[in-house]
Structure 1
Amino acid sequence: MSASLNRTTVSRLPAALRPAVDPAELRTRVVHFGLGAFHRAHQAVYTEQAAARSGEPWGITAVAPRSARTVSALRDQDCLYSLTERRPEGNRTRVVGSVVGALAMGPDAKAVDALLADPEVTVVTLTVTEKGYHRSPRTGGLDTEAAPVAADLRAGSDGLLTTVVGRLAAGLAARMRAGAPPISVVSCDNMADNGAALARVVHDFVRTSAWPDRSEVLDRMAGAVAFPATVVDRIVPATGDADRAFADAALGVRDALPVTAEPYRQWVLQDSFAAPRPPWERDGALFVPDVTPYQLTKLRLLNGSHSALAHLGAAAGLTTVAEAMAADWGERLVRTLCAEVAPTLPAGGPDPVGYADDLVVRFRNPAMRHLLRQIGSDASLKVTERWLPALRTLRAAGSSAPVLELALAAWAFGTSRADAAADPAAASLAACGGPAIRPADSVRALLRVIGAADLADDDVLTAAVADRLPALRAGHIEI
């Protein structure tokens, strides 16, 4: 197979495989930070369908914070790529055409800034994972002592900025100075109150900068930049060689950047935009006054279950979510965790029992190969969002939390393993264990590393977590 996917070859594909909209008819009206698989399988699909169904030219320029290689590969394909939905009855593949530009944040900084100041761009979206926000675990604001953030603050708006927060803050400041129209900045990362969290770190960056007009910039941002909260949901596994081979065979041309996903997808957005946006509701997106009930349900039930499956599955020597669900404890883990956490959820969201039923079906999908190691990465950031708030609420109410205690034990066990998943706090976490350290003391130290000193001081909790460790070391999952 010699031909590659591009605008010429895509025109020769069967209609069912071609994009829903002609990319040549789109213009950049959305800038997206984070050129990963999730964005290409989620927001880019909603935007493509919104453009196709409305006739409006909503195109996306995607900005890669780090991977210039991905940018180059996407440009070589005229920013086209394929999406394969892994369905139990058989996979479905087609090309997505909503991305019309690709930039590398460092080398293309001037082009990124120009787009952020462009009046025609009215939406910025982000999928940069929790660690991309550089939040302090103590305050929730910008961690100005983090080396990349400190370097960006020293560099100033005209220097080489390496953090998305710094680049975004500088671009928005330039937009405010130019008097450009309002804009909405939309976090699509799995964090509680992600809109407010993003607003805070961006405002903190401007406030801490040495820009002489920082006060004026902040005043203008207050009225011209909105940060709606969102909930995004679609399982998007890492793309493997088999996925690439399948996409190539389905298309009849070579695709260097295919993505795969489950059939299910959801997007709930706070209806508080400051400027025109794609009509995503035409493809099923839900606009609500308050996303909190949906956000907490997703974070604590879906993401919480995913993390629990990842760490317990790793302890049991398993590789994928489907394998964990096939174990005699898999479905029981999901259902009991959902039941345990349900009392901590606010009213107005999905029914927890029905939500758990859907999770079991989704997680069992035999066509999916979602790696536990992928889900278990960056756990020091994920568990603080997915488990600890619910655990605090349950402890305060005097309720038991055996499933969350088991999940914490599995995470604690994994931090000391030689094959531990990647984590920004890996060195600090590994230092908490060792044969000379009592298990309960190790659990306390781990909780302090992730900013949970209050839970570390809960002797009943740390003892309960430590008591689970011997069985996990033996590979036994007891729920």
Structure 2
Amino acid sequence: MSALLNRAALARLAPELRPAVDPAELRTRVVHFGLGAFHRAHQAVYTEQAAARSGEPWGITAVAPRSAETVRALRDQDCLYSLTERRPDANVSRVVGAVVGALAMGPDAKAVDALLADPEVTVVTLTVTEKGYHRSPLTGGLDTAAASVAADLAADPDGPLSTVVGRLAAGLAARMRAGAPPISVVSCDNMAGNGAALGRVVHDFVRASAWPDRAEILDRMAEAVAFPATLVDRIVPATSEADRTAAVAALGVRDALPVTAEPYRQWVLEDSFAAVRPPWERDGALFVPDVAPHQLTKLRLLNGSHSALAYLGTAAGLDTIAETMAADWGERLVRALCAEVAPTLPVGRPDPRAYADDLVVRFRNPAMHHLLRQIGSDGSLKITERWLPALRELRARGTSTPVLELALAAWVLSIRRSAAPTDPAADTLAACWEPATRPADTVGALLRVLGAADLADDDALTTAVADRLPALRAGRMEI
């Protein structure tokens, strides 16, 4: 068996395979919640390059909300891992060294809070997916009635908490009490206005707590904690066993946690930080006064198309985005959805037509094996952000919405076929499928679960979606 990837093994690697910076020279100045592949292929890369090009010791301690196994595996490798860019002509691999610590949020609660209160830590980033924010579909604020949130509110804030929102709120409260310097907390999840959304649920948690000094904490947070909005973009498939085998071949050492990604990456950030931060712009990150145009374009075009391809591809019996794009309707679906949604986007850049051209190229990359089931997971949260706001705007204008109706029908069919076992609303969604119910009524019931009662009451919409179901069941993609 090959030796394990760790700091001792770096000297045996070819120079082009080694990290851009010596990990031993870095210190924890960024805390990141979410130890998944996306962070390791995106923010960690930007941070490593920022440290290498500035000479500043910007290291990351990553906190895993659930997976203690991933923490152990990363620690065993001195927090090193490999990144492989899947290019159409050839793969390119190297080791990333930006992560210098790994913690499990529950068992290591005290260590997490200590870092959040550490004056040297001035940035917190998050990739915890939409469901990690526990937002109410009705208000957009924290769902304090959710079992895990309610349990955290009733628990000792110094002990283990089960939600990232609770742990972050408790840690920031400790920082405020200690009078530590300001800090910026950066959501890197795919939500419109993600900075404001994160700020709201954190403030809601503090406000709903039983902490006697909660009013003072909120006042201090208003001055000392910033929640910049961001847009993040890179396609990062789930790691497969074949990826692990390929990593050994590329490195000559064994990597238990390799990640793969497309060559393209983008990071746009609202320039409203409360404290010093890594100079991510040295690696191409863009700082702007208003992220909203970029964020909305990406959310509705890239993420919206991705979800549509996932559900229609699944209905057609396909497995990956590249396979779906190879179908005779794949490119047509992407371009049609982008054209349909374009009127809901801010005028000016990014240009929707050029954006669609880029999406077709990226989605067609034959080296990528992005699974439809990965993209289609947690649909009740994703499509609420990606499709429904555009659907509302267009229908309010009296504009036809055939592509969004088709996409919504494919999602409805996916609920019928799989009962969406990983979706946080799985049981409620499954209960909407009653054999004797009219298909249009089932569509309406599903929309109500999404908090979209207004769309559920649109009889023309629910009928149009229901009318698409027979063709989809037969595997016909009528675009």
Q: TM-score, normalised by structure 1?
A: 0.99
The CA RMSD measured in Å over matched residues stands at 0.8
Identity %: 84
Q: State the match for 2:451 in structure 1.
A: 451
Q: What's 1:264 paired with?
A: 264
Is 1:44 aligned with 2:41?
no
Contact 1:378 1:421 in 2 (8 A): no
Structure 1 residues 389-404: aligned runs within 5 Å:
389-404=389-404
Q: Deviations over 1:7-56 (max 9, x none)?
A: 00012101000000000000000000000000000000000000000000
Letter in 2 for 1:304: G
Distance 2:204 2:311 in 1: 34
Name the CA distance, whole Å, in 2 between partners of 1:243 and 1:391.
38
- Per the alignment, residue 241 of structure 2 pairs with 241
Q: Tell me the alpha carbon deviations over residues 190-221 of structure 1, each in whole angstroms, 9 at most, x when there is no partner.
A: 00000000000000000000000000000000
**Kept after mapping to 1: 8 A contact 2:230/2:295:** yes
Post-superposition offset of 1:87: 0.2
Letter in 1 for 2:160: L
**Stretch moving more, 81-90 or 341-350:** 341-350
Structure 1 moving runs of 4+ over 6 Å: none
- Residue 191 of structure 1 corresponds to which residue in structure 2? 191
Which whole-Å CA distance do the structure 1 matches of 2:426 and 2:313 have between them? Answer: 19
CA distance, structure 1, for counterparts of residue 290 and residue 421 of structure 2: 34
Matched, 1:477 2:477: yes
Who is 2:172 aligned against? Answer: 172
Whether 1:339 and 2:371 are equivalent positions in the alignment is no
Q: How does 1:57-456 map to 2 (within 5 A)?
A: 57-418=57-418, 420=420, 422-456=422-456
Contact 2:419 2:430 in 1 (8 A): no
Cα distance between partner residues in 2 of 1:421 and 1:364: 29
Deviation (angstroms), 1:157 = 1.4
Aligned equivalents of 2:300 and 2:252: distance in 1?
41
The alpha carbon displacement at 1:422 in A equals 2.2
Spell out, residue by residue over 1:338-394, the C-alpha distance to the aligned partner (whole angstroms, 9 max, x if none): 000000001243110000000000000000000000000000000000000000000
Structure 2 counterpart SS, 1:260: strand
Q: Is the 8 A contact 2:419 2:429 kept in 1?
A: no
User: Where does the alignment leave 5 or more consecutive residues of structure 1 unmatched?
Assistant: none
Distance 1:45 1:439 in 2: 47
Distance 2:199 2:418 in 1: 38
Structure 2 letter corresponding to 1:255 = D
**What TM-score, normalized by structure 2, do the two folds share?**
0.99
Give the Cα separation in 2 of the matches to 1:347 and 1:167: 39
- Between the aligned partners of 2:11 and 2:288, the Cα distance in structure 1 is 38
Instruction: Spell out, residue by residue over 1:120-163, the C-alpha distance to the aligned partner (whole angstroms, 9 max, x if none).
Output: 00000000000000000000000000000000000031232110
Gaps of 5+ in 2: none
- Distance in 2, matches of 1:255 and 1:402, equals 46
Q: Measure, in 2, the Cα distance between the counterparts of 1:408 and 1:430.
A: 16
Give SS of 1:417's match: helix
Aligned with 2:30: secondary structure? Answer: strand
Residues of 2 paired with 1:216 and 1:420: CA distance?
Answer: 43
Contact 1:156 1:209 survives alignment (8 Å): no
Per-residue deviation, 1:420? 4.0
CA distance in 2, matches of 1:343, 1:74: 45
Q: What do residues 416-473 of structure 1 show as CA deviations (whole Å, max 9, x unaligned)? A: 1137462111111111113211000000000000100000000110010000001011
Aligned to 2:30: 30
Taking a change above 3 Å as real, the CA distance of residues 348 and 288 of structure 1, as seen in their structure-2 partners, is: farther
CA contact (8 A) 1:41 1:236 kept: yes
Q: Distance in 1 between matches of 2:449 and 2:268?
A: 32
CA offset digits 1:146-184 (Å, max 9, x no partner): 000000000031232110000000000000000000000
Distance, in Å, in 1 between the alignment partners of 2:463 and 2:251 is 55
Q: Distance in 2 between matches of 1:419 and 1:85?
A: 34
Amino acid at match of 1:231: L
Deviation readout 1:56-105 (Å, 9 max, x if unpaired): 00000000000000000000000000000000010000000000000000
Q: What is the total number of aligned residue pairs between the two structures?
A: 479
Contact 2:109 2:159 in 1 (8 A): no
Q: Give the 3 Å change call, closer, same or farther, for CA 113–350 of structure 1 in structure 2.
A: same
**Partner SS, residue 132 of structure 2:** helix
Secondary structure at 1:255's aligned position in 2?
Answer: coil
Q: 1:448 to 1:419 in 2, by over 3 A?
A: closer
